Chains A and B, each alone.
Chain A
């Protein structure tokens, strides 16, 4: 369920119910992808971090 500010903003656009439902699906899919993208970007970024520091960064990130 999207936060209330997003629900209010979507309602203000006065979209057809099916169109609005589709847009909400796209937003939800975006949020799910964002988590995967974030983790992928972090894993790649970690390769730039020197060895000892990398361990500390991984711990802070909970990896």
Chain B
């Protein structure tokens, strides 16, 4: 069982309020399947309590931002705030977000249901996203970051990707991106050196499958660029690519 699957199984146990051992049978499932289950449970909970969350969102508008932020952190907690956030007007949620502690924001991000949060994510100021990104990177929350990428504007994804220095972390996040076509602008934004680092890192075994999936959905011009860069890598790296992806777009 992968470490990522272990983390997801523990998250589901925490969400359901049971000891992790009680859900031991989930550990044989893949991390992606477990992440989907966790988000489906959270999404169903949001629907079930939609009326309460809508009322809370309206009530929040009556409160000064600082007080609403204090209530969020001290009484509601990250799970409820993640469920409530999509019901808030995005501009109000962005204002509140700026009053929350970075660690709390990262906790909220972990529990956010990405496909419910697109308007909210688009409204968040760049500094807030950067701060949260750094918190999530420090925690190794690659699944959380990867599943949210499709809901972010392309310009935001490109800017945030530029803030991640470690190619292994970029690949770890890319592995959790569902539709990898949304990463095309990121590839264009990277200079040759950054691309070479990614290709070399993947050749060392770091999430090569994620990069193979990505290259398969790149535009022909992008694939040509990567092929020519791949040809400049040291022989062991080229061989690793040839063996791992003999029929892939870069072959």
Flag A1-35 by CB within 8 Å of B: 1 or 0 each.
01101101110110110010001001101110111
Check A6/B40 contact, CB under 8 A, given A31-B45, A41-B76, A45-B75: yes
Nearest chain B CB to A45's CB is how many angstroms away? 4
* B62 proximity list for chain A (CB < 8 A): 53, 56-57, 60
Interface residue? B41 (CB, 8 A): yes
Give the distance to chain A from B229, nearest Cβ to Cβ, in Å. Answer: 37
A27 close to B16 (CB less than 8 A):
yes
Give the shortest distance, in Å, between B221 (CB) and chain A (any CB).
36
CB pair B80 A19 closer than 8 Å: no
Stretch at the interface among B53-61, B145-153, B189-197, B207-215: B53-61
Which B residues, 47 to 76, have Cβ-Cβ distances below 8 Å to chain A? 47-49, 52, 55-56, 58-59, 62-63, 67, 70-71, 74-76
Query: What 8 A-B pairs have minimum CB-CB distances, sorted nearest first?
Result: A9-B40, A45-B75, A45-B71, A60-B59, A6-B40, A6-B44, A57-B59, A26-B16
Chain B residues within CB distance 8 Å of chain A = 15-18, 22-23, 25-26, 29, 33, 36-37, 40-41, 43-45, 47-49, 52, 55-56, 58-59, 62-63, 67, 70-71, 74-77, 80
Chain A residues close to B by CB (< 8 Å): 2-3, 5-6, 8-10, 12-13, 15-16, 19, 23, 26-27, 29-31, 33-35, 37-39, 41-42, 44-45, 48-49, 53, 56-57, 60-62
